[in-house]
Amino acid sequence: MKYLTWTDEAALEVVREHAEKPGPMLLTLQALQERFGYVETSLLPSIAKELNVSRAEVHGVLTYYSDFRTTPPASRQIHLCVAEACQALGVRDVVKELAAAGYEVGERSKDGATDVVGVYCLGNCALGPAALVDGNLCGRVSAKSLVAQVTS
Ligand code: FES
């Protein structure tokens, strides 16, 4: 996924685009993350001011939802489903094989190019183990197929 490089000026434009909408907090944070890949915490006071809420409220929402990032993402993303149906279809072996290849779930890969995130159900249970690779849904994945996708 390609993201814009964070600048406070560009981020504040995004904030202002959403500030007048009803319930702007989540919309604003989601828009920032979609645009830049993360939300820079140094901008929280300005976000709070633009949305007319406290800094604590912005911080609370940003840290409550685990999908929000406060650091720049790696250039490639694997979201591997580790929920029950995918466990029944062998995801635990995929996790072990990924770790052996330098792609520990919950960490950035050893080469620094890929974030590997464990998630719970992608709605693709019948084709488990399932994963999202850079946002694209994949079924019946293996460690080999995932590594091949992020290194191609
Ligand atoms: S449990 Fe893995 S996609 Fe549903």
Task: Give the domains, in start order, of the chain with CATH numbers.
Answer: 8-64 (no CATH), 76-151 (3.40.30.10)
Q: For ligand 1, what atom is nearest to the CA of residue 85?
A: 1
Strand order of the β-sheet with 76-81 is 107-108, 114-119, 76-81, 131-133, 136-138
Is residue 1 pLDDT above 80, yes or no?
no
Measured distance CA(82)–CA(95) in Å, rounded: 9
**98 pLDDT band (50/70/90 cuts)?**
very high
pLDDT for 93 equals 98
On the question of pLDDT at 144 being above 80, the answer is: yes
Atom of ligand 1 nearest to the CA of 124: 3
Helix (H) or strand (E) segment spanning residue 149: helix 143-151
Instruction: Compute the distance from residue 9 Cα to the ligand 1 centre, in Å.
Output: 40
Q: What is the pLDDT of residue 102?
A: 97
